[in-house]
């Protein structure tokens, strides 16, 4: 983490909140890499897949982005959410973990690794109402735009946006629950 990261990410997030989707994609990709480096360094014993925590953190950042105050630096906000989600991941698995705050400065961005393991998010996704699930899958895994998704399902773009928004909020909420059922 450097001052340059901070300035750049703050600028991107401000643009994103103002409605710039390109800036938001840049922000999320760079933030994901930083959070991944942070989480991987913190998880020394097994039991928790770092990428699951990265995804939970990104979802929390997304649904809680109104809690970032634009006059404050964005990285402490990002890392506080990542730390919270990491502790939560361990707690859900009945483990305790101590996390030091001041090691953040040594975090480096890391790329996503190929993995064969089933993601937590897929299990949660499977538990969504069908309309939300198919829209979220279409926009994410299948890589369609909002317009293409609307055409595929024969519904309006507004309906796609609403389903996507509700679906993502529901996934984040499931992650926040005390236990998210592995079966769901």
- Token representation of residue 84: 């919270």
Cβ nearer to other proteins, comparing 64 with 95: 64
Cβ nearer to other proteins, comparing 25 with 151: 25
Cβ nearer to other proteins, comparing 41 with 165: 165
Cβ nearer to other proteins, comparing 91 with 95: 91
Contact 167, 160 (CB under 8 A): no
Question: In the bound complex, what is the minimum distance in angstroms from residue 76's beta carbon to other proteins?
Answer: 4
Q: Read off φ and ψ for residue 96, nearest 5 degrees.
A: -110, 150
Cβ nearer to other proteins, comparing 17 with 41: 17
Which class for 58: exposed (0-12), middle (13-18), buried (19 or more C-beta within 10 A)?
buried
Question: In the bound complex, what is the minimum distance in angstroms from residue 44's beta carbon to other proteins?
Answer: 21
Cβ nearer to other proteins, comparing 106 with 112: 112
Binding site for other proteins (CB under 8 A): 16-17, 19-21, 24-25, 28-29, 32, 36, 51, 54-55, 58-60, 62-69, 72, 76-81, 83-84, 112, 119, 121-122, 125, 136, 139-141, 143, 145-146, 161, 164-165, 168, 172-173, 176-178
Question: In the bound complex, what is the minimum distance in angstroms from residue 62's beta carbon to other proteins?
Answer: 5
């Amino acid at each position: 983490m450097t001052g340059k990261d901070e300035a750049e990410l703050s600028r991107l997030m401000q643009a994103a909140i103002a409605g710039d989707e390109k800036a938001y994609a840049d922000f999320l990709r760079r933030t994901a890499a930083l959070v991944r480096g942070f989480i991987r360094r913190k998880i020394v014993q097994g039991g928790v897949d770092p990428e699951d925590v990265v995804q939970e953190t990104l979802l929390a950042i997304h649904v809680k982005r109104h809690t970032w105050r634009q006059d404050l630096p964005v990285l402490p906000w990002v890392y506080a959410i990542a730390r919270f989600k990491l502790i939560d991941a361990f707690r859900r698995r009945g483990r305790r973990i101590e996390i030091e705050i001041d090691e953040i400065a040594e975090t480096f961005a890391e790329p996503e690794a190929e993995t064969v393991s089933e993601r937590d998010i897929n299990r949660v996704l499977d538990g969504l109402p069908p309309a939300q699930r198919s829209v979220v899958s279409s926009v994410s895994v299948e890589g369609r735009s909002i317009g293409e998704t609307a055409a595929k399902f024969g519904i309006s773009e507004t309906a796609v946006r609403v389903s996507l928004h509700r679906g993502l909020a529901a996934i984040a909420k499931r992650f926040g629950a005390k236990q998210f059922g592995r079966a769901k």
